[in-house]
Amino acid sequence: MSDFDYDLFVIGGGSGGVRAARVAAAQGAKVALAEDDRMGGTCVIRGCVPKKLMVFASSYREGFSDARAYGWDVKDGDFHWNVFRDHLHTELDRLEQVYRNLLDGSGVEIFDSRAVLKDAHTVQLADGVTKSAKHILVATGGHPVKPDMPNAHLGIVSDDIFHLPELPQSMLIVGGGYIACEFACIMAGLGVKVTQFYRGAQILRGFDDEARGLIAEMMREQGIDLHTGTNIVEMKPADAQHPENAVPTASDAAMGADVQQMKALQTDVSGAGEGPIWVKSTNGREGVFDYVLFATGRSPNTQDMGLEEIGIQIGRRGEILVDEYSQSAVPSVYAIGDVTNRVNLTPVAIREGMAFVETVFKGNPTPIDHDLIPSAIFTQPEYGTVGLTEEAAREQEEIEVYCTSFRPMQTAFAGKPGRVLMKLVVSKVNRKILGCHIVAPNAGEMIQLAGIAVKMGATKEDFDRTVAVHPTMSEEIVTMRDPMRTA
């Protein structure tokens, strides 16, 4: 008979926390889970899932002209944001219920409450009730952060996008990471005039240079007014008190803001979006936008949780510091997912949760493997990647680079300029594929499969021995015979 109320108390009902709770319960553990927001967490409620549904919604725009090129008599349709948004939220409600049912079905006790740590084995719920547990798993995720600048409250963050009262005519997106680039493509696809500021020289820092270059080019081709080496220096409401700010200027047009057509939007989005916003940028331009979206990074949810008070170590970016078994400095407390700021991806949080259960409840110490994680950025076209960039590989050892870029059959037929990129970075020493980079429609689907081969340690010759599937885009990945360069 345990001295504790539970064997495991999980704080956070996102992908990682829910999976760990269910798998531990399936092992016979007595498990509780507390969540102070909606069950499903960032991925299901305000991240991957609604984002991907918006990707689908936005991708139909091109479909009309493509269909005409293929002989269909179709006209460009109008997009009704409210129809899509309401359907989206119905779907998210359904998914949230699925998550609850999964927990219920596994025998996990759910507390719809915030929980904080009181000591190494005790959590306190919002109503003051305390619960004890042999192990505590913190899986509280992260939240978007806005830059520290005057009037930043006027901007919205990715969480807010799914609740916009109406589709804006213009939007400025600040940032050059996953979220900024994905939403730039989504909003442009839905018909919004998108301007994007990225402070660095090229978007998607840390990814393969050639892939970044092609994506930036394709985004501009799509009509996104992308400015690199650019940031906001000043922003304020462009309201009647500042009529001078509501007058369109030549630079407004250059930045893509159609001030004439703009109307003051009244929204209830996190105090932001209460009307058009005037922005001055570091390149000296001025413009007015219906919304400013800050996609300037995310921070771990570790504030006011009593973590440091009980001896848990917190890193420079606010993350819980854990070892390879996800164990914190307090041995009974573990942490997984974005709150640890290791690799902030849903499937990684799930893996970390499973490895935690394996270690703690199955007596099989399992360190988490963060090597060769495939991932995709849902720009249009998508970018699928696994392994090293060419730049990182070059630093490590001698390499060969195999690369091809071409117009795929489907879009070439429709007279579209879209290009795709297939690239393999190969070790000269042992011929292993060190990195695979694909920029193409559905590259996310492709990289999942290529990722298996790369994870297995496939060599370039293994790829060469594989017969092409014809006619496909991905066949190029097994038909590149000569290196484009060596380094």
Residue with smaller CB distance to ligand NDP, 187 or 295:
295
Instruction: Please calculate the CA angle 320-321-325 and round it to the nearest 5 degrees.
Output: 110
* Catalytic one of 80, 89, 370, 470: 470
In 70-200, where does DSSP find H-type helix? 81-105, 158-161, 178-190
Nearest 5°: phi and psi at 377? -110, 125
Q: Where are the beta strands (DSSP E) in 112-255?
A: 115-119, 122-125, 130-138, 142-144, 170-174, 193-198, 225-228, 232-237
C-beta nearest to ligand NDP: residue? 177
Q: How far apart are CA 225 and CA 3, in angstroms?
A: 61
Which 3 state secondary structure label does DSSP give 34? strand
**Across-strand partners of 286?**
280
Pick the closest to residue 293 from 171, 150, 400 (CA basis). 171
At its nearest, how many Å lie between ligand NDP and the CB of residue 240? 29
Residue with smaller CB distance to ligand NDP, 342 or 419:
342
Nearest 5°: phi and psi at 459? -100, 170
DSSP secondary structure string for all residues of 412-471: HHTT----EEEEEEEETTT-BEEEEEEEETTHHHHHHHHHHHHHTT-BHHHHHHSPPPTT
Residue with smaller CB distance to ligand NDP, 278 or 378:
378
Structure tokens at 2: 């345990």
Residue with smaller CB distance to ligand NDP, 165 or 297:
297
**Across-strand partners of 303?**
none
Q: How far apart are CA 304 and CA 42, in angstroms?
A: 20
Q: How far apart are CA 163 and CA 110, in angstroms?
A: 27
Which 3 state secondary structure label does DSSP give 402? strand
User: Using CB under 6 A as the criterion, which residues of the chain lie in contact with ligand NDP when the complex forms?
Assistant: 147, 174-180, 182, 198-200, 205, 231, 295-298, 344-345, 375-378
Residue with smaller CB distance to ligand NDP, 246 or 450:
450
At its nearest, how many Å lie between ligand NDP and the CB of residue 320? 17
Q: For residue 361, count other CB atoms closer than 10 A to its CB.
A: 20
At its nearest, how many Å lie between ligand NDP and the CB of residue 36? 21
At its nearest, how many Å lie between ligand NDP and the CB of residue 296? 4
The H or E element that residue 292 is part of is strand 291-294
Nearest 5°: phi and psi at 2? -75, 150
Told to judge if 470 belongs to the known catalytic residues of this protein, a careful annotator would answer yes
Say how far residue 201 (Cα) sits from the centre of its chain.
Answer: 21
Query: With contact defined as beta carbons under 8 Å apart, do 216 and 379 qualify?
Result: no
At its nearest, how many Å lie between ligand NDP and the CB of residue 147? 3
At its nearest, how many Å lie between ligand NDP and the CB of residue 450? 16
At its nearest, how many Å lie between ligand NDP and the CB of residue 80? 26
Residue with smaller CB distance to ligand NDP, 377 or 443:
377
Structure tokens at 206: 């840390």
Residue with smaller CB distance to ligand NDP, 378 or 402:
378
At its nearest, how many Å lie between ligand NDP and the CB of residue 360? 26
Q: How far apart are CA 296 and CA 316, in angstroms?
A: 17
Residue with smaller CB distance to ligand NDP, 169 or 341:
341
As annotated, the active-site residues are 470
